[in-house]
Structures are given as C-alpha cells and as structure tokens.
C-alpha cells in the first residue's frame, strides 16, 4: 500500500505475495505470519443540477482486515494461506428527501478471499506460484419503492394503469425494501511468475481468474405511509375520497405481492492481469511500476430474482474494463527504517449512464506514502496512508420512468457526484 500496490515484479516479504504475485513466496525458509487492517474513511456528495441542493454520503469508517501465513520449506519450495478482501463496496445515503434512495440508500458488498498457495523456484532466475481462491460473498441492498411506477390494484381500471396516471407524484415512497443475501461461494485461482533478469532488474506477471458468486437470501418489504388521498370522482371509488395507503396495504399482507420472500442474485468478481518491473537503482532505492487490467465488463447486468416472479428486475450496469498504472518507490533509510511512496492512476468502469448512488465511481488518482520499521529480523511493523482523489462526475439518481424508452445519459443524469477517501493501513509481521 505504501508503494501504491506496485509489487508484481518484487513482492513484499510480509506474506502478501499470495495476492500480489504468488511466485514471490519463495525466497526464505521458516515461518512468516502477518496480520493487519486498513481503515477506509469515505467522503462524498451529490449535488442536484436544478435545485443545487447537496446530500452527503454517510459512511462510517470501514475496516478491511488481512491475514497471511507462509512457510518456506527450503530455498525452492514455499507454501501458505492468505485471507484478504480485494473487492467490496459500502455506500450509505440519507433516506429523507434524497431521490437516489430509490436506487439504493444503504448498500454493501463483501467478498472474502481465502487462498491456499504454493510457489516454486523453477530456475535460478525464474519463480512460479499459484493459489486456489475460495471466495465467500454477501450483499445487502436497501431502497425505497416508487408508488407512481406501480400498477393500481383495481378491477375498475384498464390493466397496467399506474398510480402516476392517477396523479401520484414521481418518486413517492410507499415501501422500504431490504435485500439481504449471503453464503455465496465461488472458486477461482491466482497465478504468477517472476523473472530476475539481473541483480538489479526484475519482471513479473500475475493473472487472477474471475469468480461467479450466486447469492441466496431474503427480501423484506415494509409499508411506508404516504398520507395521500385520491379525491372524490376518482376512477376507482367515484363517490368518496380514497386513502392511497389503504388501497396498497393488502399488497403487504399474506397473498399480496410485497410480502417477505426469498431472493437471488449473481455477481462476478472480475479477473485481473498485471505486469510489472522492479529496478534497484541504488543499494538503497528501489523503483517499481505495474500495469493493471481489470475485467469489469463481466459486471453488465445485476439480476434480482424474487420468489414471486412478477417482481423480478434487471439492473443494467454495462461496466467497462479498466486500466491502471501503479508507480512505487522504496528507500531503505537505515537497516531498521524504510520509507515508501507511490501514485496510482485508474480509469472508470461505470459508463456515463450507470453512475448511480450504488457506486458513483470515476477516473481517479491515488497518492500513497508509508514506512516500515524492523528493529530485529524477527519482527516488523508497516504503516501506510492512501488518498483517493476522484474526478467529479455527472450521474443520476433515478431509473427510467415507466414508458420512457432508452433515455440517454444526458437525459437521465441530473447532478454531480463528488467522491474521495482516506485510507490508513497497518500490518504486524513475525518471522520465525
């Protein structure tokens, strides 16, 4: 982290090679055990074009743990196991008057990777390694449902008539929906190679397989009171006023459409390819550079399949593959102290039409710094800081309305997302 994650050609000696390049496990005999946590402090807001009103993201700090255990059998063989979280998200927005709550106001995605790994010194200059990724996932989505888009449950009206056609305003919240699905398990792999061209020049490459996760869980529906009343002369009950909440209440009761039920979805964690170089420019200074391709195009559609098929939806994402450049530097100031710094530049995965409150991501630059302290060969502590500076990006807070066919990004996007984050990480490593 201190050197911007650049390490595919020459990994750190704390066991994290299992993720960055499994080939890097080979080199030392005996045990190495590392553990730590990175705290993510997220900040951001959405500013509406029309009103200039802003809503702040409300995330609490997010702790992301990691744990590695490595054993060097001899100079040619090493093995280990790692537990880490390379992918995840958490976004929490206000539920008051923020229109984005209809897409998702409190959302999280967790993907825990457990990777048993082996590595082998193939020749004096070439190392290879690989691991089996066992991925455990959970997802939670909370959103409000828009009454204006719902079909009116009445035999007095033509089939398909919506509440919007009866004058109910767009984005009238009448239901709170929580989708909570966990226990998804998938299998993938992580493979790498490192080449020592000279004593001062090294190359490396790593490929991580995509992993499909199928989630099963529960959908919980809670009625929200609108307080709205259809006036007399309405087409359902012409002679008297009709409370809207009473009209939709049966939908939340046994036999109704919006009762608690099972739900399923699937998400594919993307594959990755990295190639990199490490140059020992002086006895104390090391420079590193990695290129990273991530197969985000696998995230094209988010299907949500309910027990009642009438509720099934597909959220179109159409993500695109991303490209990133990681530049890092490491300077051994003394035998005990090492300083690190780095820069990441990273493209955006979401196209213009799917920048939403779920994950308002965009092109970003990230700046890192850190240090390591190793007072003895048996013990070391590493600390790092990372700042994510994401470019402001236009996005939307709504899906297309009923009957609105193929709106463009310019027609859907109604404001500006600003986003940034501070990360602080620390790792404790023991060698024995």
Q: Kindly state whether residue 241 falls inside one of the protein's structural domains.
A: yes
Q: Kindly state whether residue 324 falls inside one of the protein's structural domains.
A: yes
How would DSSP label each residue in 149-213? GSBP--TTS-TT-BGGGGTPPTT-EEEEEEEEEEEEEEEEEEEEEEEE-SSSEEEEEEEE--EEE
Domain of 103, in residue numbers: 17-431
CA distance 113 to 87: 9
Structure tokens at 71: 């054993």
Structure tokens at 45: 């807001």
pLDDT over 90 at 98, yes or no: yes
CA distance 211 to 295: 11
Query: For the chain, how far is it from start to end, CA to CA, in angstroms?
Result: 24
Q: Kindly state whether residue 329 falls inside one of the protein's structural domains.
A: yes
CA distance 24 to 5: 14
CA distance 172 to 86: 37
> What global pTM score does this model have?
0.91
Tens digit of each residue's pLDDT (9 = 90 or more) over 123-178: 999 999 999 999 999 999 999 999 999 999 988 899 989 999 999 999 999 999 99
Percent of the chain with pLDDT over 90: 88
Q: Kindly state whether residue 388 falls inside one of the protein's structural domains.
A: yes
Provide the CATH number for the domain around residue 21.
2.40.160.60
Q: What are phi and psi of 102, to 5 degrees?
A: -80, -15
CA distance 184 to 213: 6
Tens digit of each residue's pLDDT (9 = 90 or more) over 31-71: 999 999 999 999 999 999 999 999 999 999 999 999 999 99
Is 239 in a helix, a strand, or coil? Answer: coil
Task: Please count the structural domains in the chain.
Answer: 1
Tens digit of each residue's pLDDT (9 = 90 or more) over 372-418: 999 999 999 999 999 999 999 999 998 887 667 778 888 899 999 99
pLDDT over 90 at 20, yes or no: yes
Q: Kindly state whether residue 3 falls inside one of the protein's structural domains.
A: no
Q: Kindly state whether residue 151 falls inside one of the protein's structural domains.
A: yes
Q: Kindly state whether residue 293 falls inside one of the protein's structural domains.
A: yes
Residues 6+ apart with CB under 8 A from 254: none
CA distance 416 to 367: 23
Tens digit of each residue's pLDDT (9 = 90 or more) over 209-255: 999 999 999 999 999 999 999 999 889 988 899 999 999 999 999 99
DSSP state at residue 296 = G
Q: Kindly state whether residue 295 falls inside one of the protein's structural domains.
A: yes
CA distance 72 to 119: 9
């Amino acid at each position: 982290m201190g050197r911007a994650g650049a390490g595919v050609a020459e990994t750190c000696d704390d066991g994290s090679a299992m993720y960055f390049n499994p080939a890097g496990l080979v080199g030392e005999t005996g045990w190495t055990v590392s553990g730590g946590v990175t705290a993510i402090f997220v900040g951001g807001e959405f500013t509406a074009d029309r009103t200039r009103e802003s809503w702040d993201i409300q995330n609490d700090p997010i702790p992301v743990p990691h744990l590695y255990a490595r054993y060097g059998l001899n100079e040619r063989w090493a093995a280990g196991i790692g537990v880490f979280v390379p992918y995840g998200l958490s976004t929490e927005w206000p539920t008051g008057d923020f229109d984005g709550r209809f897409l998702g106001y409190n959302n999280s995605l967790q993907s825990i990777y457990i990777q048993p790994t082996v590595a082998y010194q193939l020749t004096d200059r070439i190392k290879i390694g690989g691991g089996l990724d066992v991925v455990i996932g959970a997802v939670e989505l909370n959103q409000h449902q828009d009454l204006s888009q719902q079909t009116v449950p009445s035999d007095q009206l033509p089939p398909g008539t919506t509440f919007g056609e009866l004058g109910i305003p767009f984005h009238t919240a009448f239901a709170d929906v929580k989708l909570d699905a966990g226990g998804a398990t998938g299998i993938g792999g992580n493979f790498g190679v490192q080449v020592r061209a000279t004593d001062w020049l090294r190359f490396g490459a790593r490929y991580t397989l995509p992993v499909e996760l199928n989630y099963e869980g529960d959908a919980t529906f809670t009625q929200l009171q609108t307080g709205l009343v259809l006036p007399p002369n309405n087409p359902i009950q012409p002679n008297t006023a009709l409370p809207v909440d009473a009209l939709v209440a049966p939908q939340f009761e046994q036999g109704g459409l919006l009762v608690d039920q099972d739900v399923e979805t699937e998400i594919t964690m993307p594959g990755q390819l990295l190639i990199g170089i490490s140059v020992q420019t002086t006895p104390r200074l090391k420079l590193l550079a990695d290129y990273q391709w991530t197969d985000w195009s696998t995230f094209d559609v988010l299907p949500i399949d309910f027990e009642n098929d009438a509720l099934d939806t597909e959220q179109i994402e159409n993500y695109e593959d991303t490209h990133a450049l990681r530049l890092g530097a490491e300077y051994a100031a003394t035998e005990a102290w090492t300083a690190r710094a780095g820069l990441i530049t990273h493209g955006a995965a979401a196209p213009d039409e799917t920048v939403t409150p779920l994950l308002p991501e965009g092109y970003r630059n990230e700046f890192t710094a850190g240090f390591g302290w190793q007072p003895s060969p048996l013990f070391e502590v590493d600390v790092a800081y990372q700042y994510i500076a994401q470019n402001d990006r236009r996005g939307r807070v709504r899906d297309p309305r009923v009957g609105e066919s193929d709106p463009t990004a310019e027609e859907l996007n109604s404001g500006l997302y600003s986003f940034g984050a501070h990360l602080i990480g620390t790792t404790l490593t023991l060698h024995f």
